[in-house]
Amino acid sequence: MLTGAEYLGSIQDGRRLYFDGELIADPLSHPMFATNYRNAAEGYDRAYDKDAEAGPYYVIPQTVDELRDLMHALADWDDLAAVTSQGLTALLTAGARMSSQPEYAKYSSRMRAYHQYCKENDLRCVQAITDAKGDRRLPPSKQDDPDMYTRIVERRPDGVVVNGAKLHITAAAVAHEMIVMPTKMMKPGEEDWAIACAIPMNAQGVSIVNTTYAPRADNPDYYPISSHANSTEGFIILDNVFVPNERVFLAGEVEHSATFAHALGLWERLGGTMHMAECADTLVGFAQLIAEANGASAISHIKDKIAEMVIYATLIRGCLEAAVTHAGRTPEGWMHPNELYTNAAKHYGGAEFNIMIRHLHDIAGGGVLTVTAAASSSTRQTGRFTRRTVSAPIRREAAPPMNSPAPMNRCSSSCATSGPPSKIATSSSGNSSRTIFTLSALVAGVSSEGLSMQTLPAAMAPTKGWKSRPDGKFQGPKMSTWPFGS
Ligand SMILES: Cc1cc2nc3c(=O)[nH]c(=O)nc-3n(C[C@H](O)[C@H](O)[C@H](O)COP(=O)(O)OP(=O)(O)OC[C@H]3O[C@@H](n4cnc5c(N)ncnc54)[C@H](O)[C@@H]3O)c2cc1C
């Protein structure tokens, strides 16, 4: 296994990364890439075990319990580790689905060998599936530019040469390899576009044009989430890239061109939806905390809104639990989540997410947009005024200092899993105003930073007074209890 430092060494491999139109000479020290590299390196260090055969990301679940563990782990690991696990497991799933047809046995065995190669070298891979697609009305073969969909431009005895682009690829800049898959089902006549393979990021002909939602300013008070949880997103350009046969997993067989996308969707959704569940719990906790801090938690429409948020969180978790409990088994004998429940959870989570944000904004009030940074409550010039005006109206017992995490049951009697009814802060201590500032800033961050839910759970560390976990992440409240009676 690699340590974080070894990972950072391994990634300096001559890859071509662009940002704002410029080739980046030293990505590790570039401010827009630094957090992404640091988080990936920390992921390596967290998992490092000198006695282990391999990192946990390469596990192939053999039982329902192992599948459940993987589902929870996907939401805990850093983004790069999670996409690695999802991409490699998707490859194995696709290989398993092709394995019953003897003509595809070579591809299935190459995919298993590639999984083993990544495991032995502790590599991180991204999922490169989304093509540029050009004119959406036209199939690949009718596009003005045939490279709008990634394609084979030359077949050689020892491999293939590919051209095209893969867009929006999360963490491409910080991974070792990309797993290329067809973006959709290809039809007869579109054989050249039915290409699945693995390509190292530093291969000849690969360039990555990056963006990131890392903040362009450095005050974490104003960027409570993206200042420490951000990822690069890359447009990968493939310009006559040679792929040797052992890394080619599909080369023209259109009947299996969609097998990869379906397999990836399954694992991607399992992890993504687990993130949604954790995010939903956290948003419920925010809503409850702000309602309590404002003395609004007993108002009936506020309770109704929080109840609706709890239902959202619970339905996602329920569907995920069903996806694992009703897991299927591949021909090789390992487990995969139930497709229907996984897809239902993902669809519901995405379709109704706006309710969570709408209720949270409504409950939090104008501070979501106008709250000043926490610093405003601590200086001599503005502190007294801001503490008076934004402090909780009800007297509560003393809160812990903002810099020391407190037991989770302090956050609220209704959103905690156990423990006595809690108190948030005392108006005389001055901590109540900071609680509100921090929460409002985080709520604001949920929407104004435009972040994906994927990044949200990792971003909760600034919320002092909530439970922090040994892995350094923040633990949101679990909705194992119904907070409002039956
Ligand atoms: C933050 C983020 C991270 C991502 N990470 C990855 C990643 O790691 N790897 C990866 O491969 N991809 C990734 N993606 C890409 C993502 O999968 C695509 O954005 C998504 O599949 C939609 O494709 P598109 O952006 O090209 O939009 P389009 O496909 O153009 O869709 C836009 C709209 O047009 C409609 N539309 C388009 N074509 C048709 C048609 N023929 N018929 C009917 N309706 C049509 C769609 O339904 C949709 O409403 C990421 C995207 C985001 C935002």
129 CA from centroid of ligand 1 (Å) = 10
Tokens of 373: 């940074």
Decide if 409 is inside a domain: yes
Cβ of 138 closer than 6 Å to ligand 1, yes or no, is: no
- Tell me how many domains the chain contains: 1
| pLDDT values of the chain reduced to their tens digit, one per residue, 486 residues | 999 999 999 999 999 999 999 999 999 999 899 989 999 999 999 999 999 999 999 999 999 999 999 999 998 899 999 999 999 999 999 999 998 899 999 999 999 999 999 999 999 999 999 999 999 999 999 999 999 999 999 999 999 999 999 999 999 999 999 999 999 999 999 999 999 999 999 999 999 999 988 888 777 777 777 788 888 899 999 999 999 999 999 999 999 999 999 999 999 999 999 999 999 998 998 898 888 888 888 999 999 999 999 999 999 999 999 999 999 998 888 999 999 999 999 999 999 999 999 999 999 888 777 777 667 777 888 877 777 776 654 444 444 333 333 322 222 222 222 222 222 222 333 344 445 555 555 555 544 443 333 333 333 333 333 444 454 444 443 332 222 222
Quick one: how far is CA 167 from the chain centroid? 17
Cβ of 136 closer than 6 Å to ligand 1, yes or no, is: yes
Decide if 185 is inside a domain: no
CA atoms within 13 A on the CB side of 470: 3
Decide if 343 is inside a domain: yes
**Those residues with Cβ within 8 angstroms of residue 107's Cβ, 6 or more apart along the chain or in another chain:** 95, 98, 248, 249, 250
Please name which of 248, 238, 240 lies closest in space to residue 104, comparing C-alpha atoms: 248
Cβ of 130 closer than 6 Å to ligand 1, yes or no, is: yes
Cβ of 129 closer than 6 Å to ligand 1, yes or no, is: yes
The helix or strand, by DSSP H or E, that contains position 198, with its residue range, turns out to be strand 195-200
Cβ of 452 closer than 6 Å to ligand 1, yes or no, is: yes
Please name which of 113, 127, 96, 98 lies closest in space to residue 334, comparing C-alpha atoms: 96
Quick one: how far is CA 203 from the chain centroid? 26
Q: In this structure, are residues 281 and 150 in contact, taking their beta carbons and an 8 Å threshold?
A: no
**Those residues with Cβ within 8 angstroms of residue 427's Cβ, 6 or more apart along the chain or in another chain:** 391, 392, 393, 395, 396
Q: Which domain holds residue 399?
A: 266-475
Decide if 315 is inside a domain: yes
Decide if 57 is inside a domain: no
Nearest atom in ligand 1 to the alpha carbon of residue 133 is 26
Alpha helices by DSSP H, listed for 215-299, are 259-293
Decide if 313 is inside a domain: yes
92 CA from centroid of ligand 1 (Å) = 24
Residue 219 CB burial class (10 angstroms; 0-12, 13-18, ≥19): exposed
Please name which of 27, 43, 29 lies closest in space to residue 471, comparing C-alpha atoms: 43
Decide if 124 is inside a domain: no
DSSP 131: B
63 CA from centroid of ligand 1 (Å) = 33
* CB environment 407-439: b (16+ within 10 A), e (fewer): ebbbbbbbbbeeeeebbbbbbebbbbbbbbbbb
Which residue owns the Cα nearest ligand 1 atom 24? Answer: 130
pTM, to two decimals: 0.81
Which residue owns the Cα nearest ligand 1 atom 39? Answer: 136
Q: In this structure, are residues 186 and 218 in contact, taking their beta carbons and an 8 Å threshold?
A: no
267 CA from centroid of ligand 1 (Å) = 17
State the Cα–Cα distance between residues 359 and 366, nearest whole angstrom.
Answer: 13
3 state DSSP class of 212 = strand
427 CA from centroid of ligand 1 (Å) = 48
306 CA from centroid of ligand 1 (Å) = 32
Number of H helices, E strands in the chain: 12, 14
Cβ of 168 closer than 6 Å to ligand 1, yes or no, is: yes
Nearest atom in ligand 1 to the alpha carbon of residue 183 is 11
State phi, psi for 339 to the nearest 5 degrees: -65, -45
Which residue owns the Cα nearest ligand 1 atom 23? Answer: 130
Looking up residue 312, the CATH number of its domain turns out to be 1.20.140.10
Do the strands 22-23 and 125-128 form a parallel or antiparallel pair, or are they unpaired?
A: unpaired
Cβ of 128 closer than 6 Å to ligand 1, yes or no, is: yes
Q: In this structure, are residues 59 and 84 in contact, taking their beta carbons and an 8 Å threshold?
A: no
Nearest atom in ligand 1 to the alpha carbon of residue 181 is 11
Decide if 23 is inside a domain: no
